Structure 1
Amino acid sequence: MAAGSTPVLALEAVTLTLPSAAGPVNILRGVDLAVGPGERLAVIGPSGSGKSSLIAVGAGLEQPTSGAVRLFGQDLARLDEDGRARLRRGRAALVFQAFHLLPNMTAEENVATPLEIAGARDALATARQWLGRVGLSGRLTHYPHQLSGGEQQRVALARALAARPALLFADEPTGNLDAKTATTVADLMFALIAEVGAALVMVTHDPVLAERADRIVRMADGQIDTRKIDTGKILA
């Protein structure tokens, strides 16, 4: 992160403990992390290491047990659920492995709806423009079940980036795709976030995809492993 710049996301001594039948489970254990404007960060590590929980807490979808989370400089602990949603609106977007498209809406409606909620007057035109940019001009009126996995993820990318957010959270964005389609989606994602100037916090198991980030952090047992990765990229 450039000296003097305000992080778009900052976690300070964040813990997350969740109940289970066997007793409390420590998911995150004292995580410190800062992401600068426009920075592209990859989060790697084994399943169960806390990667997706880090995104959930950072995006304000899950409240930490202790510690501080600041999104765009705002302390999320001071905001209720509606306040956190308002803070994210138009500024932070999410893309998931499972796409999470609304099944009863067409591709253009899936992209336009968040824009309409944010008050955009040209939501439908913007949705069509962004679907064109991800190569789906011929799929505007198709429903999710009529689209391939790669096409659904491209709709999800268009939906996430159409509002030109300052931060994109991506949780295994290519995890459900074959290798060729995954490369296509990754190329689109990195090209589009560069165009809009968004920072990226991306969870992935794919080392090739992680290498495309500016920085890699590795999660292990709910903490950030501060050892250097073989690629030479410095953690945290």
Structure 2
Amino acid sequence: MSDDVTPAAPLVLDAVALTLPSSAGPVNILRGVDLVVNPGERVAIIGPSGSGKSSLIAVGAGLEEPTSGQVRLFGQDLAKLNEDGRARLRRGRAALVFQSFHLLPNMTAEENVATPLEIDGARDAMATARDWLGRVGLSGRLTHYPHQLSGGEQQRVALARALAARPALLFADEPTGNLDGATATSVADLMFNLVTEVGAAMVMVTHDPVLATRADRIVRMADGRIVS
């Protein structure tokens, strides 16, 4: 790995490969990926569809086990942890935002944000949820269910949920991919402002070249490899 890795780097991928089975035979999704994300650094991952961008996030977050190589999340070798151990490692420290929002449909906006905090043992989870929904401009939508919210509003709830615990690392997979242009810009503004406010590092997959330029560093992928 590079000599400029800091000891506190929240995410380090070292020669990571991912091969998945298919009816046509094994498919190489990631091919020897090296990546370091340092504290507070915002990294945009770009590249054509099928280049391995979302798989990189899945492996980095411990949602997918690599075929070979090493993934260190907050200094922990993920290969030494089982699924529960990886979940405990992420809890309160790493958060995820997806293109499809992934809100719980039977919970209000307030409950969607508060529930992970309650699981983490926060005593003031509901108050924190209300505060964060206010930060994303949804103070008037606390008791609305996801089906009562627009796509942009749902992604704002997802952002509030992800950042309310003030994680050290945010994984964002096409966070504006399901939004129209003006809404996408508004959500992106919020995301970058709030990530900076909490001091989190961010790994963001995007097809939007304008959004990517807002990151501190752009990583380009092609055919399962980092090419620049």
Q: Same fold (TM over 0.5)?
A: yes
Give the Cα–Cα distance (whole angstroms) in 2 for the partners of residues 142 and 22 of structure 1.
46
Give the Cα–Cα distance (whole angstroms) in 2 for the partners of residues 110 and 25 of structure 1.
36
Q: Note if 1:27 corresponds to 2:38.
A: no
Match of 1:110 in 2: 112
Gaps of 5+ in 1: 227-236
Q: Deviations 1:166-222 (Å, cap 9, x if unpaired)?
A: 000000000000000000000000000000000000000000000000000001000
Out of 118, 140, 152, which is 1:150 matched to?
152
Match of 2:91 in 1: 89
Q: Deviations 1:49-79 (Å, cap 9, x if unpaired)?
A: 0000000000000000000000000000000
- Deviating 4+ runs (over 3 angstroms): 1-5
Q: Note if 1:209 corresponds to 2:211.
A: yes
Gaps of 5+ in 2: none
3-state secondary structure, aligned to 1:181: helix
Q: TM-score, normalised on structure 2?
A: 0.98
Match of 1:197 in 2: 199
Give the Cα–Cα distance (whole angstroms) in 1 for the partners of residues 30 and 6 of structure 2.
28
Distance 1:99-1:225 versus aligned 2 partners, 3 A rule: same
Distance 1:179-1:73 versus aligned 2 partners, 3 A rule: same
3-state secondary structure, aligned to 2:115: helix
Identity %: 85
Match of 2:134 in 1: 132
Q: Which residue identity is paired with 2:81?
A: L
Q: Deviations 1:92-151 (Å, cap 9, x if unpaired)?
A: 000000000000100000000000011101001000000000000000000000000000
Q: Which residue identity is paired with 1:150?
A: G
3-state secondary structure, aligned to 1:55: helix
Q: Which residue identity is paired with 1:77?
A: A
Q: Which residue identity is paired with 2:109?
A: A
Q: Which residue identity is paired with 2:50?
A: G
Question: What is the Cα-based RMSD across aligned positions, in Å?
Answer: 1.0
Are the equivalent residues in 2 in contact too, given 1:5–1:37 (CA < 8 A)? no
Give the Cα–Cα distance (whole angstroms) in 1 for the partners of residues 88 and 64 of structure 2.
15
Give the Cα–Cα distance (whole angstroms) in 1 for the partners of residues 157 and 39 of structure 2.
25
3-state secondary structure, aligned to 1:14: strand
Match of 2:166 in 1: 164
Give the Cα–Cα distance (whole angstroms) in 1 for the partners of residues 12 and 5 of structure 2.
15
Give the Cα–Cα distance (whole angstroms) in 2 for the partners of residues 124 and 105 of structure 1.
13
Out of 57, 60, 63, which is 1:61 matched to?
63
Q: Deviations 1:152-172 (Å, cap 9, x if unpaired)?
A: 000000000000000000000
Give the Cα–Cα distance (whole angstroms) in 1 for the partners of residues 4 and 134 of structure 2.
34
Give the Cα–Cα distance (whole angstroms) in 1 for the partners of residues 140 and 6 of structure 2.
45
3-state secondary structure, aligned to 1:93: strand
3-state secondary structure, aligned to 2:34: strand
1:7 deviates by 1.1
Match of 1:231 in 2: none
Give the Cα–Cα distance (whole angstroms) in 1 for the partners of residues 54 and 61 of structure 2.
11
Match of 1:221 in 2: 223
Q: Note if 1:187 corresponds to 2:208.
A: no
Give the Cα–Cα distance (whole angstroms) in 2 for the partners of residues 155 and 173 of structure 1.
12
